[in-house]
Amino acid sequence: MKKYKGNQLNEVIDSMKYSYEEPFVLHIVKQQKYEFVYLAYEEENLVGLIVTWKSKLHPNCLYFRVYSNPASSQNVELQLVQYVKQNEMVELPLQTSLWETKKKLMELYEQLDMNIIRKTYMPKLNLDQLFQVLDQSNYDLKTLKDIMDNQQLMEQLTALVKRNYEETHLANPVADLSLKEWQQLYDDAILEGSFLLCNPGNQNIIAYSFLHETEYETELEIGWSGVDQLGHLPLLQVLTYNQITYAKRNGYAALIGEFDTTSPYALEILELFPYDTCPVWITFQG
């Protein structure tokens, strides 16, 4: 085992050429945003590595990814994780994510007494079909654009977003951020495609759902969604249908999203997606 010192970048790039996460992890290594990196060698050949980093939004765990050369006969991933635990002062829980098809790594993390803290479904909803229109006449439908200049409503919305996000991420708590900082986290939302419902009597926000652009010109992504109380969960489907209408009207072919099992809001929207064959992203912590 050797600690990465910056002069082995070409080796790291070459070793990760078969990894589906190559761009993300290599960005962390190249930009020196890692906490530490260890490399595993067999004789002179690099056969595995572990990369760790921290998140400003979730500072209460240490994220990591571990990789090995498929040609290696050794249990390199296990050795790398054990080496880190023995040789680094790791005071925070370790956390990692992977596709559920990675059975070998799934078994490794279970062997290390790590627990699954959530599953994330990533379906795609093709828009070339008919959708039922849900009644929303009992509420005032607004867009994010409609309330951008209303400080009271924006603060109310952001406080609700903050509360819901914190309550659905208890296993990996969120940093202590101000409402202004929280608002900046969704300032890339599409103003005309992000919807909320207000109570017509007092104009309190009771449901919201953000929409975002993606790297693909034909797709949009549903972002953070939530309600003020669980009895209003069905209203999220009302907002989603409005997002479907917005996307179709503007020439998009599909909606995508990342829906966590720790969020009742995400699971409510997930019911609208044909997710029986969609990828499942598993998050371990321990």
pLDDT at residue 181 tops 90: yes
pLDDT at residue 20 tops 70: no
What is the reported pTM?
0.91
Report the DSSP pairing between strands 94-99 and 195-198. Answer: unpaired
- Supply the Cα-derived Rg of the chain in whole angstroms: 22
Which of 136-145, 171-180, 269-278 tops mean pLDDT?
171-180
Q: Please give the structure tokens belonging to residue 25.
A: 């992890």
pLDDT digits (tens, 9 = 90+) for 26-63: 889 989 999 999 999 988 888 889 999 999 999 999 99
Average pLDDT value for the chain: 92
pLDDT digits (tens, 9 = 90+) for 217-236: 999 999 999 999 999 999 99
pLDDT digits (tens, 9 = 90+) for 61-117: 999 999 888 777 678 999 999 999 999 999 999 999 999 999 999 999 999 999 999
Q: Could you give the angle at the alpha carbon of 194 between the alpha carbons of 262 and 230, nearest 5°?
A: 40
pLDDT number for residue 168: 97
Where residue 273 falls among pLDDT bands split at 50, 70, 90?
confident
pLDDT number for residue 230: 96
Where residue 276 falls among pLDDT bands split at 50, 70, 90?
low
> Residue 239 is inside which H or E element, if any?
helix 235-249
What is d(CA 189, CA 220) in angstroms, rounded to the nearest whole number? 11
The CATH number of the domain covering residues in 2-92: 3.40.630.30
Q: Please give the structure tokens belonging to residue 161.
A: 């977003």
* Domain 124-285 in the same topology as domain 2-92: yes
Q: Which superfamily does CATH assign the domain made up of 124-285 to?
A: Gcn5-related N-acetyltransferase (GNAT) (3.40.630.30)
Rounded (10°) angle between helices 103-111 and 76-87 = 30
Q: Give the contacts of 150 (CB within 8 A, at least 6 positions apart).
A: none
Q: Please give the structure tokens belonging to residue 197.
A: 């419902």
Domain coordinates of the chain in residue numbers? 2-92, 124-285
Backbone angles phi, psi at 77, to 5 degrees: -60, -45
